[in-house]
Amino acid sequence: MAFFEQNIHHPPKTFLSKYIFSYDHKVIGKQFLWYGIFFLLVGGLMALMIRWALAYPGEPFPVIGQFLFPTSNGVIPPDTYAMLFTMHGTIMIFYAITPILIGAFGNFCIPLMIGARDMVFPLLNMLSFHIAAVSGFILLASLFVPLGAAAGGWTSYPTLSTLIGSPGTGQTLWSLAIFVLGVSSTMGAINYITTIITLRAPGMGYFDMPLTVWGLGLTAVLNAIFLPVLGAGVLLLIFDRVFGTTFFLAGAAATTGTGDPVLFQHVFWIFGHPEVYILILPAWGVVSDLLSFFARKPAFGAKATALSMTTITILSTLVYGHHMFTTQMSPLLTQTFMTLTMTISIPSAIFFANWLGTIWKGSIRFTSPMLFSMGVVFVFGLGGLTGLYLGTVTTDLYLHDTYFVVGHFHYTMAASVLLGSFAAVYFWMPKMFGTMMCEFWAKVHFWITMLGLNGVFMGMLFMGYAGMHRRLYNPFVYDFLNKLVPINEFTTISAIVMGFAQIIFVVNFVHAVFFKKEKASDNPWEVGTLEWTIPSPAPNYNFKEIPVVKCGPHELGNPALTNGRDFQYQTEELARG
């Protein structure tokens, strides 16, 4: 039962109140979606530049190289290369994936899927987007300051991120941007948690919620707990850079008794490993629902999946040290962190098996959301298996800081979360905008993306296993890496293919939103969750009457159904034979 009174919202009357300073969670979700897609394009272009520099060192970047790098005749300079991989990682993690999956679909889906008219704190919700926009502006501004943007890697370890390693103002602006974004995300997390607890429709227990809401809710819990840890870390880094403190200054311990660069690594990874799950839990939830919806059968072990995600959320707070095996950590601690890391693979394996159980003998509809969801199953399985080598001390000592880590991270995070985001966009498109994207081009987008994506990240795994370290401007000055030139070229060509595939998505998306006249039906996917019981696109007030939930979200393929449908809405009594 809701603890807060839910009034029917009146439609906004001005442009500003409708599109800019809107309190409507659906509009805010769309704002986050456009924001995330913009940064996805920026971060993707930076990725192509990184790959070009590695495959063809010393050659001008095509088409726009002369404009971007006029002083070096279009060749990407070493200092710019360091800036590119720093900003690429930062943008993709904090400014593309986070806004799309958590900001856009968290805002859009949570109230609709739990039967609420809006978030519990609409003003806080509006402010969370505008603070995120300020953060994005600060980050982009850092590209244009003297000495350029941050260049110490997306983790920004001292001493690379102190005034010794990064003397310009770019690193300071990077730290400020991350701090401001943390404020925005913490505000959103508080809103999500409170909304899920207090505004669920009558009759909706926690296990009656779609798994998408479980994923978004658990993400919000991790954000609320651990984002302040990162905020504290970057705030101390700003103090070191601006006010002359010595929290992370190397050598300070020998003179004043304070200061240690490794302290930042502890602070960063206490947040950073939960951040892995902050990003991927929403994708897990979305995929768990979509596999059921398009296999036309109940989600296999839905409660076990929800409990597995909860267990992973708890364990994710205890394993951060496996990122620091090479920092001369105590052997006792390394064994403890290794054991905990291996333990977290057990609930991961459970829900992965549940995914396979959901697909097994299903009446599968190979729609674009289903294809992208099945793509997540493949790439996450591959990424999880490669992670075992990095969670084990002995193999990590060899593979640490090589491209194997980059390949694993991109398979587990970039590939899984990117494909999950596309699945969500295609699936909720009619509910957000009232139209559907062209299914033919959506499927073309999927297959070309999968082809390019696996070429890129599999190539990274091979190069890392061969000993190629990451963050090298020109690794081929080392004789033992010269034989990896063909793999680097193949990886770069795959990245270009993957990049061009996203043009298909952008054109399809823009056409559907702005030019397509044909409206989608209210429930084009034939799904029974609450958002599909109302018109598409969803009205300003969501629900005229707050719905009463009478069954779970995955009631599909029930042989007792006699109404000509193979699914039933959550507002209907469960059919029994």
> Is residue 19, in this structure, part of any structural domain at all?
no
CA distance 211 to 291: 11
**3-state secondary structure at position 104:** helix
Q: Is the entire prediction scored with pTM above 0.85?
A: yes
**Residue 457: per-residue pLDDT:** 96
CA distance 248 to 262: 8
**Residue 460: per-residue pLDDT:** 96
The residue among 276, 104, 88, 79 whose CA lies nearest residue 160 is: 79
Task: Give the CATH number for residue 94.
Answer: 1.20.210.10
The residue among 212, 195, 227, 229 whose CA lies nearest residue 116 is: 195
The residue among 473, 499, 503 whose CA lies nearest residue 488 is: 473
> Is residue 566, in this structure, part of any structural domain at all?
no
Asked whether the bond before 537 is cis by omega within 30 degrees of 0, the reply is yes
Sequence-ordered list of residues with C-beta below 8 angstroms from that of 167, at least 6 positions apart, any chain: 147
Asked whether the bond before 159 is cis by omega within 30 degrees of 0, the reply is yes
Whole-angstrom Cα Rg for the chain: 24
CA distance 270 to 455: 32
User: How many other CB atoms sit within 10 Å of the CB of residue 64?
Assistant: 12
CA distance 451 to 379: 12
Range of the domain at 306: 25-533
The residue among 517, 528, 466 whose CA lies nearest residue 491 is: 466
User: How many other CB atoms sit within 10 Å of the CB of residue 83?
Assistant: 23
**3-state secondary structure at position 149:** strand
**3-state secondary structure at position 469:** strand
Reported residue count of the chain is 577
> Is residue 538, in this structure, part of any structural domain at all?
no
**Residue 2: per-residue pLDDT:** 46
Which phi and psi angles does 558 have, rounded to 5°?
-70, 120
CB 233 within 8 A of CB 182: no
Enter the tokens of residue 323: 């990122």
CA distance 475 to 191: 46
CA distance 70 to 80: 12
Which phi and psi angles does 530 have, rounded to 5°?
-60, -30
CA triple 272-262-281, angle to 5 deg: 5
Enter the tokens of residue 279: 């990003």
CA triple 448-373-291, angle to 5 deg: 145
> Is residue 98, in this structure, part of any structural domain at all?
yes
CB 438 within 8 A of CB 510: no
CB 50 within 8 A of CB 147: no
> Is residue 16, in this structure, part of any structural domain at all?
no
Sequence-ordered list of residues with C-beta below 8 angstroms from that of 264, at least 6 positions apart, any chain: 157, 158, 161, 233, 236, 237, 247, 248
> Is residue 295, in this structure, part of any structural domain at all?
yes
The residue among 206, 201, 202 whose CA lies nearest residue 303 is: 206
**3-state secondary structure at position 556:** strand
Paired strand residues for 402: 469
Chain center to CA of 313: 16
Which phi and psi angles does 504 have, rounded to 5°?
-60, -45
> Is residue 416, in this structure, part of any structural domain at all?
yes
CA distance 486 to 492: 10
Return the DSSP state at 484. Answer: G
CA triple 139-141-145, angle to 5 deg: 120
Chain center to CA of 416: 9
Q: What is the pLDDT along the chain (577 residues), one digit of tens a residue?
A: 444 567 666 778 788 888 899 999 999 999 999 999 999 999 999 999 999 999 998 899 998 999 989 989 999 999 999 999 999 999 999 999 999 999 999 999 999 999 999 999 999 999 999 999 999 999 999 999 999 999 999 999 998 999 988 999 999 999 999 999 999 999 999 999 999 999 999 999 999 999 999 999 999 999 999 999 999 999 999 999 999 888 988 776 566 667 888 999 999 999 999 999 999 999 999 999 999 999 999 999 999 999 999 999 999 999 999 999 999 888 889 999 999 999 999 999 999 999 999 999 999 999 999 999 999 999 999 988 999 999 999 999 999 999 999 999 999 888 999 999 999 999 999 999 999 999 999 999 999 999 999 999 999 999 999 999 999 999 888 898 999 999 999 999 999 999 999 999 999 999 999 998 889 999 999 999 999 999 999 998 899 899 999 999 999 988 888 777 889 999 999 877 6
How many domains are there within the chain?
1
Paired strand residues for 423: none
CB 409 within 8 A of CB 460: no
The residue among 103, 489, 527, 519 whose CA lies nearest residue 279 is: 103
CA distance 179 to 237: 11
> Is residue 308, in this structure, part of any structural domain at all?
yes
Q: Which amino acid is at 247?
A: F
On the 0-12 / 13-18 / 19+ scale of CB atoms within 10 A, 344 is: buried
CB 90 within 8 A of CB 150: yes
